[in-house]
Structure 1
């Protein structure tokens, strides 16, 4: 199953009519929803489903999964090794998934989601950071850190520029269309004001020059 279908599978699980009525069924289903949430790429739909699931009172019955989801909404770096050691057995033993059992591809996707989360966290706390330091925070090589960062920039998950010669990453705040239009309007207003002042100055100097010629 490809990563882009994880959220679609979550929607299928949420449509099971008998689940909420049968206590023996909702815990296994809720576990599967949690797994697919952490495997899904970060976007508005995933974020909405993640927060609504965290508000589900039934999640308190599987507190370790609540802890797992909570890490994804907390602006702190997740230690991949510690996370994997905690959940590896449950991850590998999860069966009867709609998209098939969680295998090697899903494990790679989980690690990818953790790396993406950590890069987003770093971007919140740093405006500039060296690639070397970024790699250290992500527990990756410099080459791996640059690749994951570049992939996120290409997918527009964040805005950043990499200065390779000096090894510096500059994170920027993404602007929506309204911010861009407002910025253009302000710049245009400044330009028109400058043109008006220049015209006034030219007119003034022309009048002075004409007056000097009459003397």
Structure 2
């Protein structure tokens, strides 16, 4: 089912792969294959590790962006064995490059590889995985746009993403709801405002700093008022 003949030491991870495949939990499947890949008997044999590494790459690409996915993606890119399947290195590299990916160009390049990858998800990757791959590309592109724009019209966003107005708004809204992105949509104006996500410590530190500035301003104002009062009293005595 999984495209290679696992040795006894790898059977421990094959069953979890099957379990997670039922829910298309791509990241967990990827982690299972990563564990298989690290088995010495697998890593010493190119006939075994190449198909496993290919699957790691595909499942990484299919996984939604989050810290764990990003960490696995970067560690996989640093793997010297990836040079043996150079086109997969190029595929992963696109996902960490802050440039908009043209879906049609990517799909025309990797479509045959994608559809010929047997024994994944119970056969070829299938239509569901193809849809998820396009979804991942759209999410990547929205994150790229959010890095370069603080404010953008939905019409321009849709143009950059090669989507309809409604599709762009839906994908953006889904990312905001899932907290993959911080943004506000002004629907009457048709404008999106991207914001940088802040953790609680940053917010607290910012509040404390603003409070300190406020107290300094109050103190300076009190000194200035006191000074003006003294000058005014001196003028009255004269």
Q: Is 1:28–2:55 an aligned residue pair?
A: no
> Could you say which residue in structure 2 is the equivalent of 1:79?
102
Scaled by the length of structure 1, what TM-score is found? 0.87
Q: Secondary structure at the match of 2:86?
A: helix
Distance 2:221 2:79 in 1: 64
Deviations 1:118-142, CA, capped at 9 Å, x for gaps: 0011111111111001000000011
Give the Cα–Cα distance (whole angstroms) in 2 for the partners of residues 121 and 2 of structure 1: 28
In the other structure, the counterpart of 1:155 is 178
Shift of 1:56: 0.9
User: In the aligned structure 2, how far is the partner of 1:43 from the partner of 1:203?
Assistant: 56
Deviation at 1:194, TM superposition (A): 5.3
1:191 CA drift (Å): 3.9
Q: Give the total of aligned pairs.
A: 212
CA distance in 1, matches of 2:89, 2:226: 72
| Residue equivalent to 1:2 | 23
Q: Which residue of 1 aligns with 2:5?
A: none
Structure 1 unmatched ranges of 5 or more? 208-215
Q: 1:76-120 CA deviation, whole Å, 9 max, x = no partner?
A: 1000011111111221121123x4331111111101100000001
For the residue of structure 1 that corresponds to 2:101, the secondary structure is coil
Number of the residue aligned with 2:122: 100
Give the CA deviation at 1:199: 7.0
Q: Structure 2 regions of 5+ residues with no counterpart?
A: 1-21, 231-238
Q: Give the aligned partner of residue 161 of structure 2.
A: 138
Task: Please give the per-residue CA displacement for 1:50-72, whole angstroms capped at 9, x wherever unaligned.
Answer: 01111111111111111100000
TM-score normalised per structure 2: 0.79
